[in-house]
Amino acid sequence: MILRSTFKTLGALLVTSLIASAPALAEKTYTLKMAETWGPNYPILGETSRSMAAMAEKMSAGRLKITVDSSNKHKAPFGIFDMVKAGQYDMGHTASYYYKGKIPNAMFFTTVPFGMIASEQYAWFYYGDGMDLMQKVYQPHGLLSFPGGNTGNQMGGWFRKEINSLEDLKGIKMRTPGFAGEVMSELGVSVTNIPPGELYTALERGTIDALEWVGPALDLAMGFHQIAKYYYSGWQEPAAELQFLINEKVWSDLPEDLQEILRVAMRTAAYDMYAQSMHVSGQNWSKMKEDYPNVSAKTFPPEVIDALRDATDKLLAEAAAKDPLAKEIITSQAEYLKSIRKWTNISDKAYLDTVSVIEE
């Protein structure tokens, strides 16, 4: 609560100053329509879009209003990119890697297997090259993209059967999106992407044998543990960042003070989602262990992890060789990770390793 209050107070002070310097703009109201990938009242992800809209309206003293349409209304959970590009919606809340089929370089701005954790990725976005590179990808489509909330490190997925070897992965049908899906395909997995609202039914009916969604924060309510008892730790999404997409013309038509209000609201809501995800994951993991003792928390065998890493490196090299912009993004992320991970290792990792030894 202190975190949320602090961000909101800082935002309110900033906006008060902006409004005071532009009294001539105070009477005009701007209303934007936003489409989200998530269903109505979806926890955490859907709360983030509505929290951002509420902050923007409050900080602008009602001059900037944002209405949110869930996937049940617009009927296109993976169509946000197209709808915002076409001007059907002014904004969207979604995940960049859903659109790798249209713009392959988009997937790098959600997460990369074996890549940066959330704190490192936020540093890359805001103080490294991340934001500039993301705009290079989206501006040719008349769009602007902003970080839209991070789930933190995601779990590797729910599996009906235990994975003891590479052979166990071959031929299984699995829902996993983005770059991770391409990596899994390299190992013989039959990969598909299914909208969130259809995941439980697909797993229950055997349309898929395994799926990766998020982690305890969102997985518990989805009920996957009732069908698949093997729950694997992650490798594929060490920091899954959502995005706010905005039509560039809509953005340009906003007064500068409202642009800044919107920027502050998006950044605050995004980081608040990261904090909320961490909080709820901790709560739900404890509940899952207590109420569903048949759930088996697992890690993939070393030979599987090695194969996943090799496939990741191979696909990254291929992407870099095909596209100069992909190479620029991949190089930027790799160099930033190499630099920042030195600090992560001697700070957070060293601390956790020390505490783990003491607790044991």
Cα separation, 230 vs 23, whole angstroms: 59
Residue 247 and residue 62: Cα distance in Å, rounded?
21
For 95-154, how does the pLDDT look when each residue is reduced to its tens digit (9 = 90+)?
999 999 999 999 999 999 999 999 999 999 999 999 999 999 999 999 999 999 999 999
Residue of 20, 33, 30, 62 whose CA lies nearest to 247 = 33
Which residue would you say has higher pLDDT here, 351 or 289? 351
Task: Determine the average pLDDT of the residues in 305-323.
Answer: 97
Report which residue type is found at 133.
Answer: L
pLDDT given for residue 18 in this prediction = 52
Return the closest-CA partner of residue 270 out of 110, 92, 91, 147: 147
204, 227 contact by CB (below 8 A): yes
pLDDT value for 196: 84
Q: Which residues pair with 30 in a beta bridge?
A: 64
Tally helices (H) and strands (E) across the chain: 15, 11
> Is 275 a residue whose pLDDT tops 50?
yes
Looking at residue 219, its pLDDT comes to 95
Q: Whole-prediction pTM value?
A: 0.89
pLDDT for the residue 3 = 45
The 10 Å Cβ neighbour count of residue 310 is 13
Percent of the chain with pLDDT over 70: 92
Tell me phi and psi for residue 157, to 5 degrees: 130, 170
Count of CB atoms within 10 A of residue 119's CB? 17
In which band, very low, low, confident or very high, does the pLDDT at 311 lie, cut at 50, 70 and 90? very high
Lowest mean pLDDT among 12-16, 183-187, 330-334: 12-16
- Cα-flanking dihedrals φ and ψ of residue 65, to 5°? -115, 135
pLDDT, one tens digit per residue, over 330-354 is 999 999 999 999 999 999 999 999 9
Average pLDDT over residues 9-18: 53
Class of domain 2-151+238-279: alpha beta
Whole-number pLDDT of residue 289:
85
Q: Is the pLDDT of residue 89 over 70?
A: yes
pLDDT of residue 6: 47
Residue 16 has pLDDT above 60, yes or no: no
What average pLDDT does this structure show over 258-283?
Answer: 98
Per the model's pLDDT, the better-predicted residue between 14 and 113 turns out to be 113
> What SS3 class is residue 91?
strand
| Mean pLDDT value of segment 65-91 | 97
What pLDDT digit, counting tens, does each position of 226-265 carry? 999 999 999 999 999 999 999 999 999 999 999 999 999 9
Who's near 60: CB < 8 A, 6+ residues apart? Answer: 15, 19, 258, 261
Instruction: Give every strand in the sheet of 30-36, ordered side by side.
Output: 64-69, 30-36, 91-94, 241-247, 143-150
**Strand locations in 229-280, DSSP E?**
230-232, 241-247
pLDDT at 280 over 90: yes
Residues 95, 147: Cα–Cα separation, whole Å:
9
Contacts of range 122-125, beta carbons closer than 8 Å, 24 or more positions apart: 122/147, 122/150, 122/271, 122/274, 123/336, 123/340, 124/332, 124/333, 124/336, 124/340, 125/241
**Which H/E stretch holds residue 190?**
strand 190-192
Q: pLDDT at residue 155 above 80?
A: yes
Residue ranges covered by each domain of the chain: 2-151+238-279
Among 254, 247, 252, smallest CA distance to 18 is for 254
Q: Is the pLDDT of residue 2 over 50?
A: no
Q: pLDDT for 191-229, tens place per residue?
A: 998 888 899 999 999 999 999 999 999 999 999 999 999
pLDDT at res. 14: 56
Written as one letter, the residue type at 61 is A
Would the pLDDT of 266 be above 50? yes
